[in-house]
């Protein structure tokens, strides 16, 4: 029961932190105010932002798997490729999310993909960090195995 409560509390805290980080990115990009005319449907910029956010999310998943594998008993090289892929995917998402935010000429609801761009920016940094951590762990494990 305590473990379930801790997992739920961690999920709520992570969601709140993600929302706060996206809001901070929107404020820094000066696009935090919604516009009066809301655009519905998929626009090219929304598609671009969604694709960047998806790449970032895939990077986080691959980085998490690489982080778990780099400490496993199956060898030191099993997590290295995943770590590199996660880091690259994270950096690609950060660049695309940042470009999307830089090109936006309105806030959320304008069809510019502002929220998706901010999400890609934040989750991309998370993916790059997890990938870098997995890469460092695989290097450390490789050095320890070489002794």
What is each CA distance from 41 to 31, 33, 44, 50, 102, in whole angstroms?
A: 20, 20, 10, 13, 21
Q: What are phi and psi of 112, to 5 degrees?
A: -90, -5
Domain boundaries, the chain: 2-145
Q: What is the pLDDT of residues 7-64, one digit of tens each?
A: 777 777 777 877 777 777 777 766 666 556 666 777 788 888 889 999 999 999 998 8
Q: Which pLDDT band, with edges at 50, 70 and 90, does 89 fall under?
A: very high
Question: Which pLDDT score, from 0 to 100, does residue 77 have?
Answer: 52
Whole-angstrom distance, CA of residue 40 vs CA of residue 46: 10
Distance CA 142, CA 147 (A): 9
Q: Which residue has the tokens 């994270």?
A: 90
Residue 88 has pLDDT above 90, yes or no: yes
Contact between 122 and 22 (Cβ < 8 Å): yes
Confidence of residue 87 (pLDDT cuts 50, 70, 90): very high
pTM: 0.71
């Amino acid at each position: 029961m305590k473990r379930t409560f801790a997992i739920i509390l961690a999920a709520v805290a992570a969601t709140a932190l993600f929302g706060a980080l996206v809001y901070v990115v929107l404020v820094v990009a000066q696009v935090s105010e919604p516009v009066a005319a809301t655009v519905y449907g998929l626009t090219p910029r929304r598609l671009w932002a969604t694709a960047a956010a998806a790449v970032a999310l895939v990077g986080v998943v691959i980085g998490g798997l690489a982080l778990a594998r780099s400490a496993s008993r199956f060898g030191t090289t099993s997590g290295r490729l995943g770590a590199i892929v996660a880091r690259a995917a994270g950096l690609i998402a950060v660049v695309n999310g940042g470009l999307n935010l830089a090109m936006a000429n309105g806030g959320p609801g304008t069809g510019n993909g502002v929220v998706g761009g901010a999400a890609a920016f934040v989750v991309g940094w998370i993916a790059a960090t997890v990938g870098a951590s997995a890469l460092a762990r695989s290097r450390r494990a490789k050095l320890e195995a070489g002794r």
